Structure 1
Amino acid sequence: MKKMLGRVLAVAAAGVFASTTFASPALASVKITAYETAPVRTQPYGSSHQVRTLQPGDYIYVDCFVFNSYGNRWYRTGAGFYTYAPHFPSYSNIYKC
């Protein structure tokens, strides 16, 4: 029983390891360009602290998107900040976080 349990745990651990070694599509940064003024914030809410403002034509790299509690879609940057998705064209290659 102990030997079998050890094998099951080894297989389970190998599966977890294998699944974490491959890059997820959500982890690939995508360069997006603002088509209107786009605040960059600390949280995915318009009331959160603004750390930067992108002007039309400025770009930023995002890793994925989230929906806040109001159902609004926000892009998350590699630095962990957020920008409201409607300020940008639609991108189909950005995945949910």
Structure 2
Amino acid sequence: MAGEGHMSQVGSTLRENRKNMLDRKRLFKNKQTCTRNNTSLKFGKVSEKDLKKIKENIRIKAKRDKERFNLIMILTAIVVAVIFYYLFSDFSIDFKMFTRQR
């Protein structure tokens, strides 16, 4: 019969793939994951005065970062608008070519 060699090759390839898949599964099952639930952080003692100063510095930096981000977004929007304007400013469609002439 024609094609027997091809079919036997397909069968042997499937057997090898199945064997390789089982080996990969065993590899992942054997790996042990070590997880620790120790999520507590230890900070040094800070006086109330220093703590307020630290919080104020964090707020100032956050506000400055927010203002920078907004400025960058506005400038990016303006640049994109200008680019689109120059790309499509002389793009004119003549709708007369779409109408039927009788």
* Same topology, TM > 0.5: no
Q: Which structure is higher in strand share?
A: 1
**Larger Cα-atom Rg:** 2
Higher relative contact order (CA 8 A, sep 6+): 1
Q: Which structure is higher in helix share?
A: 2
TM-score if structure 2 supplies the norm length? 0.29
